[in-house]
Structure 1
């Protein structure tokens, strides 16, 4: 990035991952780059939103599957508060569903933990310039998906009908949480969770919580 005086400014990065070892390793790796400045670390998406509201951040390195606030909902909040902040998603799993969600929230890129060394730093610099960046692993998976997509894709079309809140409920069910636990995590009533569960089964053509959990895992909404 370039400052008003024409001099190059370090890219301010926020590292978000719920695994402490990965979070610290990423931060240490990025600090070795002369044009990177790791201005913060967060263990979940909710903390990431709070940090962006306090500290100027150019690029948020956002893990996808974390407890608490959904990473994609956090991205919406970050972009609403700080439109200039770029969000680069990271995951160990290049699910097509993740790519669709990244695009839906207008995320700036997606890399995986399986990509070759150097891809992450290249991606950060690219999104900091305002570009979109999808890593080689993601691009390969996307090409494979295009070849394998049948004429009818009921799972994807049904998922597209779900609201962000319904997706949060579905993730909670797939993780084995009770309705009371889901209600507490999302700060809503148990009755509201029950209503969402009923709507989910109707929209997805499923009959119980077990089928909902299996569907979520199969579609890549949550890892088994």
Structure 2
């Protein structure tokens, strides 16, 4: 099955480069290109891509607001935010808006293609070297929040899994840490997302920081 990708960036050269990378893979295909956030929303609704590569900064409607509107509208496309700087402040807002992860624009072509496959599988992109630092940096700016009552719905094991997800650990790493099979980890993660009404593991990680399950700088 081919994964359909929509590219949203205001620079023609960037869109052309991304398009070449995506279309060079047999299992990936560019279904459309947008030059700003509003056009991205229109094309996402019409073309129904599996994944959207969304630039953070675009004229008119930026990538963050475009992502927020798509998620609120229930569009199933997974969004990967593209940014120039690895600690670009708006990226955190994008994750909270519903993006499934983010990548630097200088990411290697093979890594970009794999990132598209990862989010298309619904796993979301939590790069330990980037997302962890971003969450650590901005966790102290999150609004104070009491522990959501629904968090009590989680089993002790599910809380463990959620904590490790927030520490940017992969399913394989979580399985090794907790001496579980990867299939069991996926089952726990699915239960967590369902019980907490979350879109993916990125939102699960943000929630874990918000309620204090994980603190900035905590050891993994």
Is the 2:45–2:75 contact (alpha carbons within 8 Å) kept by the matching residues of 1? no
Structure-2 change in CA distance of 1:41 and 1:115 (3 Å) = same
Which blocks of at least 5 consecutive residues in structure 2 are unaligned? 144-220
Give the 3-state SS of the residue equivalent to 1:142 in structure 2.
helix
Does 1:12 pair with 2:4?
yes
Q: Hey, what does 1:24 align to over in structure 2?
A: 16
Does 1:46 pair with 2:34?
no
Of 60-69 and 102-111, more deviation after overlay is shown by 102-111
| Deviations 1:113-163, CA, capped at 9 Å, x for gaps | 2333422111110100001203465247438848xx9xxx6xx47xx7xxx
Is the 2:92–2:134 contact (alpha carbons within 8 Å) kept by the matching residues of 1? no
Q: Hey, what does 2:106 align to over in structure 1?
A: 114
- CA distance in 1 between counterparts of 2:135 and 2:47 reads 38
Which residue among 84, 87, 93 is the counterpart of 1:95?
A: 87
Is the 1:115–1:136 contact (alpha carbons within 8 Å) kept by the matching residues of 2? no
Indicate the structure (1 or 2) with the bigger Cα radius of gyration.
1
Q: Hey, what does 2:51 align to over in structure 1?
A: 59
| Deviations 1:158-197, CA, capped at 9 Å, x for gaps | xx7xxxxxxxxxxxxxxxxxxxxxxxxxxxxxxxxxxxxx
Which blocks of at least 5 consecutive residues in structure 1 are unaligned? 1-8, 161-224
| Deviations 1:197-223, CA, capped at 9 Å, x for gaps | xxxxxxxxxxxxxxxxxxxxxxxxxxx
Is the 1:87–1:107 contact (alpha carbons within 8 Å) kept by the matching residues of 2? yes
Q: TM-score, normalised by structure 1?
A: 0.57
Tell me the C-alpha RMSD between the 2 structures: 2.5
Q: TM-score, normalised by structure 2?
A: 0.58
Structure-2 change in CA distance of 1:30 and 1:136 (3 Å) = farther
Structure-2 change in CA distance of 1:134 and 1:124 (3 Å) = same
Greater RCO, CA 8 A, separation 6+: 2
Is the 1:53–1:81 contact (alpha carbons within 8 Å) kept by the matching residues of 2? no
Structure-2 change in CA distance of 1:117 and 1:53 (3 Å) = closer
